[in-house]
Structure 1
Amino acid sequence: MGSFQQDRAEIDKHQQSKDSIFFRDGVRRIDFVLSYVEDNDDARKLERRAIFEANLRHVGLELETEDKSESEDGKTYFVKIHAPWEVLATYADVLKIKAPFRADDILENREMPMGWLATPSASQKTSCTRVYYILSRCSYIQDCECDKKGIKRLLNNGTYTAAFPLHDCRYWKSSSYSNCESDRYKLYRYWARFLCFFKEQPINLIRKYYGEKIGLYFAWLGFYTEMLLFAAVVGTICFVYGLLTYEENEWSKEICDKKIGGNIVMCPLCDRKCGYWQLSKICNSTWLNYLVLFMTLFLEFWKRRQARLEYEWDLVDFEEEQQKLQLRPEYESKCSKRKLNVITQLTLIIACIVGVIAYRLAVYAAFASIMKDSPTSHLHVVGPYITPQLATSVTASCINFIIIMILNFMYERVAIWITDLEVPKTHLEYENKLTMKMFLFQFVNYYSSCFYVAFFKGKFVGYPGNYAYFFGSLSKLRNEECDPGGCLIELTTQLVVVMTGKQVWGNIQEALVPWLMNWWGSRKARCHPESLYSRWEQDHDLQPFGQLGLFDEYLEMVIQFGFITLFVASFPLAPLLALINNILEVRVDAWKLTTQFRRPVAAKAHCIGAWEEILNAMAALSVVTNAFIVAFTSDMIPRLVYMYAYQPDGEMNMKGYINNSLSVFNISEFPAESRPEDGENPSWFNGSVTTCRYRDYRYPSGHEKQYFHTMQFWHILAAKLAFIIIMEHVVFMVKFVVARLISDVPSEVRARVKRERYLVQEYLHNYEVEKLKMQLQKQDHDEYCPCMLIPKIT
């Protein structure tokens, strides 16, 4: 109680501005705030706080406590922390925080001059980093056991309820308080509002207020969005071209022609509950199948942009220093007690991935089989333009999206739990390990259904009379078939539902949920006079921005990058949807960070970390996936083979392609367990129909090789494999050439880095020479001559 009275100054809270960010003396700035609710029944928490705060004072921090009677809720204590210059200087050396080498060496065209380093806002950004470093390592027990330290543990056990640095004033209007900076207001007015979507982001101001790590994220997000513009233009042109040339598509005309497609009887798509159907029924969906190197340029140009930011923000050598010096408190306390089995952890990850794949395929196949039980004769129930296959694809995609959202909740906790068990040494190592685990989980979660439709569905169905069954013949779940137009439309449907749903749901989570929680939490305070609702109480009522706050943002964008690269061949409009979303995403992220979240602790980062390796891997994988989609999912290769080798008239057109691509099966050879039940066949079906068609290249009944693959099948397969090999080699060669031509570091930046190192060496050399010269001048000229030891210095 005595220390509390000692900290109280002569200025009362009611005499301070609502926007004051200083102690009661109006001089010492608040670098950090701790809050707690006193529990008289828990003496352990009281003791921990007392020891913890005493240890903070012992290392030089100054504390001032606001009594609960002066808080708007009447029960919360606030401990304000100020770090004197001596403490900041000491920990600046520990954390290797640098200052500019020479004032005249600063680029003249920078967005902000060198003077910003001396402003209070910039000072608070770096000071709160050092204060948090102290808080995360300060002990809270008397005997100082190695694992009983750090504000993180005190927050977890309820000793403190929050720990955060302060925002600058209010965001919605410029403060009249002369000592309160307006950076937050500037960010809101010129960056965080949606009407600013056409303006360039103030990256240097973002870095100044939030730190290099958050600044680098928004620089990456903005650059990614700019590059999407070119991909969106190309994709839109492809889509529009497909629409304009649809009428010239000969094979679609044959499907829709009542005399051709209307006279082709197709085999049932499932056992017992599915009847025979006419090919013309899929006429209205075939046009989507007719719509058929952004990644390398994006990644290479981003490396150049990142290298420039590294130099301008003085982050060139930061990674090595962080690895060596900024150890995680959890590692320092546990590294001597635990040794993890890396093989066990790796096995667990692989097992989870395999389990998710099996689960996704089972759910999707089972649901699709159940939906296909609707007889073809009842198509008018779902509308003239919706086939059972399309209805199945849409509804299954929606259910799949719901499952993805549910599993996301579990995956994040599993990934964090596994990473915590490994006790990584540094924060960078922790984030990279968590990033890789979380991405592997999410990769399977989001993309497994798309990979299934693109590469597995319709590939292992067998043929009438010898169908393949999921989980064996006893399961009675026949493997799914693609319709005669291919699986491309189903892949497109899957992409549209999952990608669009994810983006809409993500924006709702990011914007609406924090706003509602803040609105509800501050409902009482809004009725109080301004003098009763201080700056630290306003920020206390905002949502906390965790240490991994940017993790979800990066993950969301990287998953989106996968959708527009891995499967772009099936959905050219994907880049356009991503562009529209990202224009909104930049402003939503800026708005919530500026208005709805507590100010995060500024942190440095010299790059986007493991995400860069993931993007490179996905760019390489996308070459393979799109080659396989074009070859095996679309009908491009079979059409080309038909046009050049199997067109009966010898003309270069697609007449007769549909009839050529369908094999013939004798209905009388259907096993009893596969035949449609009574009443399942349409009214036009009668005893005169003796054969049905199915999608494959097999010899008909009665042939010496009946139901074996024809030579055309092997020609098409060879053409597909040749296309994949040629496409991959050409694209990878182009990627390699482009990567070699585009330097990762701009020549201007390389020159300035070399010049800076030269100036450092020159300065150190001159210093040593001057030092030696002064020593020599003090020597007795009678003993030796200084000019014999060193050359004359001018």
Structure 2
Amino acid sequence: INTCVFLIVCLYLPQIDKRHQSKDSIFFRDGVRRIDFVLAYVDDLNKEWEKKLERRKEFERNLENAGLKLEREDKKESEDGKICFVKIHATWDVLITYAEVLNIKVPIKENDIPSTVENPLDCMLAPLRLPEKVMHPEPDYFTAPFSRDKQELYLINDESTFFSPSMRNRIVNYILTRCPYGTEEGKKKFGIKRLLNNGTYTAAYPLHDCQYWKKANDPNCENERYTLYMEWARFLRFYKEQPLDLIRKYYGEKIGIYFAWLGFYTEMLFLAAVVGLICFLYGLFTMDENMSSKEICDPAIGGEIIMCPLCDQDCEYWRLNTTCESSQYSHLFDNVATLFFAIFMGIWVTLFLEFWKRRQARLKYEWDLVDFEEEQQQLQLRPEYEAKCTHKKKNPVTQEMEPYLPITSQAVRFCISGTTVLFWVSIFLNHHFNTYQKIPRTHMEYENRLTMKMFLFQFVNYYSSCFYVAFFKGKFVGYPGAYTYMFNRWRNEECDPAGCLIELTTQLTIVMAGKQIWGNIQEAIVPWICNWWGRRKARNNPENLYSRWEQDHDLQTFGALGLFYEYLEMVIQFGFITLFVASFPLAPLLALMNNILEIRVDSWKLTTQYRRPVAAKAHSIGVWQEILNGMAILSVVTNAFIVAFTSDMIPRLVYYYTASENEDSPMSGYINNSLSVFQISDFPDRNKPKLNPENFVICRYRDYRYPPDHEKKYLHSMQFWHILAAKLAFIIIMEHVVFIVKFFVAWMIPDVPADVKAKIKREKYLTQKILYEYEFEKLKERLCQGGKQATEEEFITTEGRMELSRAM
């Protein structure tokens, strides 16, 4: 009887434990060991079932050999009866071992450096502030890289909470990406990424700490997800500051730095939006004073000017006053204020980038990322790099043998990669060519190169139409008697009768208003629908049968490229408001309104609709900084060309100062002066209109050419060359003025604030002092216990080393 009872208890114990566990539990069945990672798989009997089973057994056995603890949930215990779960817990020994390997910095003493003096305007900004506990969820400490041999140096009050959940899942993920699972075809196979790709596992993720809409009942749960949702991810909080320290603590520095950048970019847009709105209002209030629009709309002037057809044979002659409304709207964006705004935005871009460097430097200090780049380059090699590089050499810093790629292989891969990139960009195809490329050594190098290559493709896809309208459309069309044809077949496209600038403005309005709004709706709705569809069966089950790991499994995956697409969306927007802003001063205002919504949409979907991403460190926005710098320089050139060649500003100024004959109204007669005359009888049969109901003799077209009765019939007139010279001179002057101001501003603003520099030096000094005193105390203990002569020599050697460290 006792044997039967024991077998029954063993058989039903997992189900009993699960029923008694809270649905929000993030611990093993014992309620003590925290779940740091979850693996999921479908145990189906397909043709590869045995192979997948062997891979899982080997992989999980090696995980246990590495010191991780595993607890398995059979598919019968899942809410759908199909998915098996493997819960992973990192023991203290594993955590301290890999904390040393990953050079994780941990607290050694509470920071006693006085905080910055309070801003007198803080009382005015109080409505925008969040509670102190939300903004700063943990005290500030002096930190040092963890070492197993110096555990008593660190502030270890509780081993179960000393390493934060984000640190724990980062350590476990490091082990998972390097854990072997066997050999195939003589090659060593390893890493959870391969097992996910070949279907051995279907998911691998850390857990959220609770449900987002209510706090967990477990007193050991910090409920940070709930706090983030209530204080950050709701749209009604759009006017509040972001809890960056809490975001960093929960999601890691990489996601934290993205939201810090997005928030700072949105704040800086406010100034650009105000200035752009003022320029737009100037155009609106001076619309009735625009002489060009008056002449076009005047029946006695524009109504009597017959314009040449805009296409061959099928198009009709038209009167200039039919473009009355579009010419009035064009003045909203083609006026003197637009020129000022183009120059202003060139300076604004520099201020934005320089002030962001300062903000980023402050975050690096506050988040203990000052030495991160060096750590990244030295310690965290990519598993793929280690697998593919068979050669080894000694690292001059660590003095250890490590894989490396010979220079000859790098050169070959670089040439193949470069050729491939140029080829695919030229024909607008996607980016799946990475297996030809030079193998990046670290995760940072890999992400930076992938980001740069993918951005080049997206740059062509997003901006090609705007560049075409701004710089090519209507520029090389010829004239009515000799139109330019592409491949001797297709006639080059002409601009809208009101000019190309209004077309570019219309295109930017569609992108900045319609496309951005639809993009935000899509970002929010799609994952919500997918999650709703995935959870539809779970709603019929009792709460305690739908565990925390199952709830998170049903969420969407953020993915390795999730953050890339978030950055891409904002950087593409940055390009639209800088590269073509001379044609649309309202672009920054629309971008500001979008970004206020974007921050809350991104935070909402990350907090509620996606699995918790693996925490990752980053000390900056990476290669995106270089991309922004490049676009800032390019924007000066593009806006100068837009003002010179796309708008009518330069021709109007030339007419104002040279050709105008009416002193009372200097712009009177400009429209007639800007149109050339063509004799209809000179039309060749190829493009001669089929209909000429009123038997017109001449028609007009936009250009500066000699009339048909001139000896230089239809050749460019001297006025054309004067205007061209003025356009080129304007481009040179504008570029030089803006670049000089940009470089001067960049020189005047240091990248790192003075107080941050002082704090970094002060913290380094105090940290070294603490370490020195620790070493000194340990040596004094050994002096009392060991031989005097040997200990004194050791003391002198160590003291000298510490003094040298302090001096450095």
Instruction: Indicate which of 411, 419, 443 corresponds to 1:427.
Output: 443
* CA offset digits 1:666-725 (Å, max 9, x no partner): 1111111111114xx4xxx422x2111111111111212111111111111111111111
Conserved in 1, the CA contact under 8 Å of 2:137 and 2:245?
yes
Per the alignment, do residues 501 and 348 of structure 1 end up closer, same or farther by CA in structure 2, a change over 3 Å counting? farther
Map of 1:700 onto structure 2: 707
Give runs of aligned pairs for residues 510-659 of structure 1, distance below 5 A: 510-650=523-663, 653-659=666-672
Structure 2 residues not aligned, in runs of 5+:
1-6, 117-134, 142-154, 335-346, 392-404, 804-808
Instruction: Indicate which of 469, 473, 476 corresponds to 1:460.
Output: 476
Map of 1:342 onto structure 2: 414
Q: 1: distance between equivalents of 2:595 and 2:523?
A: 13
Map of 2:139 onto structure 1: 114
Per the alignment, do residues 213 and 488 of structure 1 end up closer, same or farther by CA in structure 2, a change over 3 Å counting? same
| CA positional deviation for 1:241 | 1.2
Q: 1: distance between equivalents of 2:106 and 2:11?
A: 36
| CA positional deviation for 1:558 | 0.1
User: What residue identity is the alignment partner of 1:319?
Assistant: E
Give runs of aligned pairs for residues 680-759 of structure 1, distance below 5 A: 681=692, 685-687=693-695, 689-759=696-766
Q: 1: distance between equivalents of 2:56 and 2:379?
A: 28
Q: 2: distance between equivalents of 1:469 and 1:623?
A: 32
Give runs of aligned pairs for residues 226-625 of structure 1, distance below 5 A: 226-290=267-331, 291-292=333-334, 293-336=347-390, 339=409, 341-356=413-428, 414-418=430-434, 421-471=437-487, 473=488, 475=489, 477-483=490-496, 485-625=498-638
Per the alignment, do residues 327 and 785 of structure 1 end up closer, same or farther by CA in structure 2, a change over 3 Å counting? closer
Map of 2:126 onto structure 1: none
Q: Secondary structure at the match of 2:182?
A: coil
Q: 2: distance between equivalents of 1:556 and 1:788?
A: 58
Q: Secondary structure at the match of 2:581?
A: coil
**Are positions 1:222 and 2:263 aligned together?**
yes
Moved more, 144-153 or 599-608: 144-153
* CA offset digits 1:422-441 (Å, max 9, x no partner): 43221111111111111111
Map of 1:399 onto structure 2: none
Instruction: Indicate which of 4, 13, 18 corresponds to 1:13.
Output: 18
User: What residue identity is the alignment partner of 1:125?
Assistant: S
Q: 1: distance between equivalents of 2:326 and 2:361?
A: 48
TM-score normalised to structure 1 length: 0.86
User: What residue identity is the alignment partner of 2:136?
Assistant: E
Q: 1: distance between equivalents of 2:360 and 2:435?
A: 28
User: What residue identity is the alignment partner of 1:345?
Assistant: S
Map of 1:389 onto structure 2: none
| CA positional deviation for 1:159 | 0.8
| CA positional deviation for 1:107 | 6.1
Structure 1 residues not aligned, in runs of 5+:
357-410
Q: 1: distance between equivalents of 2:793 and 2:749?
A: 57
Q: 2: distance between equivalents of 1:625 and 1:10?
A: 67
Q: 2: distance between equivalents of 1:650 and 1:745?
A: 55
Moved more, 459-468 or 645-654: 645-654
User: What residue identity is the alignment partner of 1:423?
Assistant: I
Q: 1: distance between equivalents of 2:367 and 2:595?
A: 25
Conserved in 1, the CA contact under 8 Å of 2:67 and 2:90?
yes
| CA positional deviation for 1:182 | 1.0
User: What residue identity is the alignment partner of 1:235?
Assistant: G
| CA positional deviation for 1:348 | 2.0
Moved more, 166-175 or 761-770: 761-770
User: What residue identity is the alignment partner of 1:67?
Assistant: D
Q: 1: distance between equivalents of 2:418 and 2:576?
A: 26
Moved more, 433-442 or 285-294: 285-294
Q: 1: distance between equivalents of 2:645 and 2:189?
A: 59
Per the alignment, do residues 38 and 61 of structure 1 end up closer, same or farther by CA in structure 2, a change over 3 Å counting? same
**Are positions 1:154 and 2:159 aligned together?**
no
Q: 2: distance between equivalents of 1:178 and 1:555?
A: 40
Conserved in 2, the CA contact under 8 Å of 1:106 and 1:114?
no
Map of 1:24 onto structure 2: 29
Q: Secondary structure at the match of 2:87?
A: strand
Aligned residues: 724
| CA positional deviation for 1:765 | 5.1
| CA positional deviation for 1:106 | 6.0
Per the alignment, do residues 531 and 770 of structure 1 end up closer, same or farther by CA in structure 2, a change over 3 Å counting? closer
Map of 2:209 onto structure 1: 168
Q: Secondary structure at the match of 2:454?
A: helix
* CA offset digits 1:342-363 (Å, max 9, x no partner): 222212221222234xxxxxxx
Q: 2: distance between equivalents of 1:656 and 1:192?
A: 58
Q: 2: distance between equivalents of 1:59 and 1:107?
A: 43
| CA positional deviation for 1:108 | 5.3
Moved more, 617-626 or 648-657: 648-657
Map of 1:34 onto structure 2: 39
Q: CA RMSD in A?
A: 2.9
Conserved in 2, the CA contact under 8 Å of 1:34 and 1:79?
yes
Moved more, 449-458 or 495-504: 495-504
Map of 1:177 onto structure 2: 218
Map of 1:88 onto structure 2: 95
Q: 1: distance between equivalents of 2:547 and 2:221?
A: 13
Q: 2: distance between equivalents of 1:765 and 1:215?
A: 33
Q: Secondary structure at the match of 1:64?
A: strand
Map of 2:337 onto structure 1: none
Q: Secondary structure at the match of 1:511?
A: helix
